[in-house]
Amino acid sequence: MKRLLLFIAAASMAVSAQAQEADPDDLIVILPEDAQECVLPAAPDAIPENADLEQLKVAKAQVGEFQAKVTEFRTCLGNAEKNEDNTTGNKAAIVDSYNYSVEMEERVAARFNEAVRDYKERKAAAEG
C-alpha cells in the first residue's frame, strides 16, 4: 500500500511540475483514447445484511475477481501512460482514473471486511 501511495504522490508531483511549464491547451484533462479502452470493472454486488458463511464465500470470490480486473485496468492505464503523445492533461486524467480505481478497491475491501467482522461477532454472540 505504501508503494502505491508513493507512486500516486510521485505521479501527481510530476504532473504538477509539468503543468507549470505546459501550454494551456495541454492542461485540458481528457483521458486519451488508448486509456479510454481500459475497462474499469463494476464493483461486486452488495453483500447481504447479516450474511451467512456461504454468502461470505460468494462475496470473497466476487471481490477476488474484481481485484484481478482492477489490476488489469491499472496495467492498461500504465501502458496508455507510456504514450509519448500524451499531454499534461492526458497524464492527469490517467492519474485521476488510477486513483479512482484505488479508492473503489478500498471501498469494496472495507465493505467485505465489515461483513466478515459482523459475521464473526454474530457467531461469537450465538456461541457465547
Q: Report whether 85 contacts 63 (CB < 8 A).
A: no
pLDDT at residue 28 in the model = 79
Close Cβ partners of 102 (under 8 Å, ≥ 6 residues apart): 4, 8
Task: Write down the residue that cell numbers 470493472 correspond to.
Answer: 41
The domain locations on the chain are 2-127
pLDDT at residue 127 in the model = 86
Close Cβ partners of 82 (under 8 Å, ≥ 6 residues apart): none
- Collect the ranges in the chain with pLDDT lower than 50: 1-11, 19
Q: What is the pTM of this model?
A: 0.76
3-state secondary structure of 52: coil
